[in-house]
Amino acid sequence: MTQAEPPAGAPPSGPTGSAAAGRGGAAILGAKLYFVLIGLVQQIALKAVLGLAGYGAYSTAQAVASITYNPVVQASIQGVSRTLAGAEDAARPQLLRKTLGLHALWAVLLGLAFLALAGPVAQLLGAGHLIGSLRILAGVVVVYGLYAPLIGALNGQKRFGSQALLDVAAATLRTIGLLLGAWLFVRASGRGVGAVDASNTGFAVASLLVLFTALAITGVGRAGSSGLTAAAYARFTLPVLGGQFLLNILFQADSLLLRRFLGEAALGQGLAPETADPLVGAYRAAQMFCFLPYQLLMSVTFVLFPLLAEAKGRGRDDEVRRLVRGGLRLGTLATGALLTALLAVPSGLIELVYGADAAELGAPAMRPLALGLCAFALVGLITSALNSLGAQAASLKVTALAALLVTAFCFAAGYRGGSGPELLRHVALATSAGLITTAAISQGVLQRLVGATLEWKSLLRTSAAVALASFLTAHALAQLGWSGELVTLLGGTLSVGLYLGMLALLREVDRRDLTALQALLGRRPAG
C-alpha cells in the first residue's frame, strides 16, 4: 500500500456549530479533495517524465521518507491544534512559541537520524542507488517537522480558510517542484537515478517555500511563560505519533518488502539493483487504483465520526448500533462498486493512465491487491468508529495487527522465490491475506464493544454481486477481443451497472437505502 504524501490537514477542532466553522470545515474538505486529485495528476505525470524505472525508484524513496514524515505531520497538527484550541486567546502566542520550539528540536534530531540511516536503509532494501535521494529527503523531514506545527496552529485558532489555502498551496508547489526538477534534468541529461534525485530536490525546494509562506501567515508567537512542559506535551503527541507510525508502516510494508526481494533477486543474478525499479513502478501503478476505496471511505468518516461520538456521549446505545450497521453497510456497498470496476478491467485501467509497460507488469497483481485494499478500507472505517466511541486502544491494536500480518505474510511470499511479475502477484496475495484477516477480526472487536457490525448476509450478497458483475464484464470483453481506452471506460461503467442491478435483484438495496443515506447525512432518524 501507499500513501506517500501527508494528509491535507486535520479536520476542524473545537466547536463547529457556527456558520464560520461550517464554512471552514467545507474549505478543508475542498482542500482535501484538491489534494487527492492533484496527487493523482502528480503520479501520472511523474511516470511520464521519469519512465517506469524512474517512477519505481522515486516511489521507493518516497515510501521510506513518508514513514518518517507522515506520522510527524499528523502528530504535530493534532498536538499544536489541541494545545492552542484549549487555551485562552491571551496565552496562545506563548504556547505557539513553546510548541514551535519543541517541534523544531524534534525535527532537527529526526532529520539528522534520517540522514545518518539513509545509507543503511537503502542497502537493506537492495536500493543502494537511492542513497542520494534519501539524503535529499532528510531535508524534507526537517522542513515538514517545522511546517506541520504551523498548520496545527491555524487549525487550533480556527483559521480554517487560511489552513485550506495553505494546504492547496503546499500540494501545488510540491507537484511543481517534483515535476520541474525531473523535467529539467531529463531535458539536459536524460533519464536515470539523477532524474529521481533532481525530482526530490525540487520537492525539497518547494517545501522550503511553503514553510516560509506558513511562517509569514502564522508568525512564531511570543516569548513568555506558557505553563506547558515538554513532558506534558509529549504525553499527548507521542501516542498519536506511535499510532501514525504503525499506520504508515502498514501503508508501505508491501512495496518496501517487494523492493527488497526484487533487489536480492537482482543481485543473485549478477544484475544491478536498478533492474528492479520497473517492477516496483508497476506495482505502485496498481496500488494507485486499489487505494481509491480507502480514500472514499475516509471521506465517509467525516460524517460518521461526529454522529457516533454524539450518540455515544448522550448514551443512545441503540442509535450507536444503528449508525454502526448503517455506516458499515453503506461503506461496503460503495466499496463494492469500485472493486467491481477494478476486477473487471485491471489491465485496461493501468494502461489508460500509466501506459502499456506498467500494465503488462502490474495487471496480474491488481486483482488480488484490490480485494485486500477494499478490505482495508473497511478496517479504516471500523477503526474510525472505534476512535469516535472512545476505544482508541482497540483501534491501535487493530492497526498493529494489520501491520504485523501484512509484514509476516509478505516475508513468507518473498521467500517463495521469483524475480519477475510473479513476485508482484505473490506479494499482492500476501498483503490481501493479511488485510482480509484483519478485517474479519476488527469486525469481531466492534461487535464485542457495541453489539453491532456488518451483517454477514449483507456481506455475502454484496460479494456475490461483485464477483458476478466483474466476471461477466471481463469474460464478455475477452470473448469479443475488444481493447482500448474507450472499451476500458465502457467496461468499468458496465461492470458497476451490473453490480447495482444484481444488488437490486438480490434485494440488497431498495428505496429504504436512499432514506437511510439521507438520515445519515441529515442527522434525521431513518424510516
Q: Are 466 and 502 in contact (CB under 8 A)?
A: no
Categorize the per-residue pLDDT at 14 as very low, low, confident or very high, splitting at 50, 70 and 90: very low
275, pLDDT greater than 80 = yes
The percent of residues above 90 in pLDDT, for the chain, comes to 42
Q: Is the pLDDT of residue 223 over 90?
A: no
* Alpha carbon distances (Å) from 525 to 175, 458, 522: 44, 21, 9
Is residue 205 assigned to a domain? Answer: yes
Please report which confidence band the pLDDT of residue 373 belongs to, taking 50, 70 and 90 as the band edges: very high
* CA–CA dist 241, 71 (Å, integer): 5
Contacts of 48 (CB under 8 A, 6+ apart): none
Nearest to 190 by CA among 407, 288, 198: 198
Number of domains in the chain: 1
Give pLDDT, residue 383.
85
The pLDDT value given to residue 67: 93
Q: What is the DSSP string of 463-521?
A: HHHHHHHHHHHHHHHHHHT--SHHHHHHHHHHHHHHHHHHHHHTTS--HHHHHHHHHHH
The pLDDT, as a whole number, for residue 225 is 74
Task: Specify if 18 maps to a domain.
Answer: yes
390 inside domain: no
Tell me the chain's radius of gyration from C-alpha atoms.
Answer: 23
- pLDDT for residue 456: 87
* Residue among 259, 140, 256, 120 at smallest CA distance from 200: 140
Domain limits for position 61: 1-247
Confidence check: pLDDT of 514 > 70:
no
The CA distance from 31 to 164, in Å, is 5
Among 337, 308, 275, 388, residue whose Cα is nearest residue 495: 337
Across 6-15, 178-187, 198-207, 286-295, least confident range: 6-15
Among the ranges given (39-53, 157-171, 189-203), the one the predictor scored with the smallest mean pLDDT: 157-171
Q: What is the pLDDT of residue 51?
A: 92
pLDDT at position 169 over 50 = yes
Alpha-carbon dihedral 243, 29, 291, 344, rounded to 10 degrees = 150
- Which pLDDT does position 157 carry in this prediction? 79
Confidence of residue 438 (pLDDT cuts 50, 70, 90): very high
119 pLDDT above the threshold of 60: yes
b/e burial code for range 444-456 (CB count within 10 A of at least 16 → b):
ebbeebbebbbee
For the four alpha carbons of 250, 256, 262 and 263, in that order, the dihedral sign comes to negative
**Average pLDDT value for the chain:** 84
pLDDT, tens digit, for every residue of 423-432? 999 999 999 9
Domain contains 237: yes
Q: What is the dihedral of CA 376, 382, 387, 392, to 10 degrees?
A: -70
In this predicted structure, what is the pLDDT of residue 10?
46
Residue 427 lies in a domain: no
Residue 90 falls within a domain, yes or no?
A: yes
- Residue among 163, 160, 167, 162 nearest 14 (CA): 160
- Place 419 in a pLDDT band, splitting at 50, 70 and 90: low
- CA distance linking residue 401 with residue 28, whole number of Å: 31
pLDDT at 193 over 50: yes
Angle between helix 19-85 and helix 193-218 axes, rounded to 10 deg: 100
Return phi, psi of residue 88, to 5°: -70, 155
Nearest to residue 470, comparing CAs of 484, 491, 501? 491
Residue 163 in domain: yes
Tell me whether residue 55 is in a domain: yes
Whether 232 and 246 have beta carbons less than 8 Å apart is answered as no
State percent of the chain over pLDDT 70.
89
Residue with more model confidence, 304 or 214: 214
- What pLDDT is stored for residue 524 in this prediction? 46
